[in-house]
Amino acid sequence: MILITSQKSLNTNYFLNKDKLKKTKMSDKRPLRDLLGKMVVTKEGKQIGTINDITFEVRSGELIQLVIRNPTSYTHNLNLERSPQGEVLVPHNTIMAIGDFVVVSEEDFS
C-alpha cells in the first residue's frame, strides 16, 4: 500500500495496493516520517534492512524506490539495484504491506 496525495484535493489521499486505487480519508494518511527507520522484510520474514529514504517522481509524487541503509547480508543473494553509496534500492511495486514492518515480495524483484 503506497500513499499518493492528490494535488486536486488536500482532503483526499489514495493508497495504491498493487493495481488497485482506493480513496481514503485524510486521517488515514501515512507521512514519510512514519516510514523512515522501519525494517523491510520479505513475506517469508527475511530481513532486508531499514528505510533511510525514498525516491519519487517530483511531478506526480509517485513512489519509485525505498532506499535501504545497512542492508543485511541476505540482500547479496537478491537481484536488487544499489546506489553509488551502496544503499539497496527496493522497487515500489514489491511493497505488499506497511505496518510495524514494510513487507515486500521477493518474487517481484527484477
Higher pLDDT, residue 39 or 56: 39
Residue 46 falls inside a structural domain: yes
Q: Can you give the pLDDT at residue 67?
A: 95
Residue 7 falls inside a structural domain: no
Q: Can you give the pLDDT at residue 33?
A: 77
- Regarding pTM above 0.85, the answer is no
When pLDDT is averaged across residues 86-102 and rounded to a whole number, the result is 92
Whichever domain contains 45, its CATH number is 2.30.30.240
Residue 95 falls inside a structural domain: yes
Residue 12 falls inside a structural domain: no
Query: For 101, which DSSP code?
Result: S
Residue 73 falls inside a structural domain: yes
Stretch (H or E) spanning 96: strand 95-98
**Locus of grid cell 484535493:** 9
Residues 67 and 86 sit within 8 Å (Cβ to Cβ): no
Residue 23 falls inside a structural domain: no
Number of structural domains found in the chain: 1
Residue 5 falls inside a structural domain: no
Q: Quick check: 110 pLDDT over 80?
A: no
Residue 37 falls inside a structural domain: yes
Q: Give the pLDDT band of residue 27 (cuts 50, 70, 90).
A: very low
Residues 78 and 68 sit within 8 Å (Cβ to Cβ): no
Phi, psi of 58 (to 5 degrees): -65, -45
Contacts of 67 (CB under 8 A, 6+ apart): 51, 52, 53, 54, 55, 83, 87, 88, 89
When pLDDT is averaged across residues 59-73 and rounded to a whole number, the result is 88
Q: Quick check: 91 pLDDT over 90?
A: yes
Q: Can you give the pLDDT at residue 31?
A: 67
Round the average pLDDT of the chain to a whole number and report it.
77
Domain extent, residue 64, equals 31-108
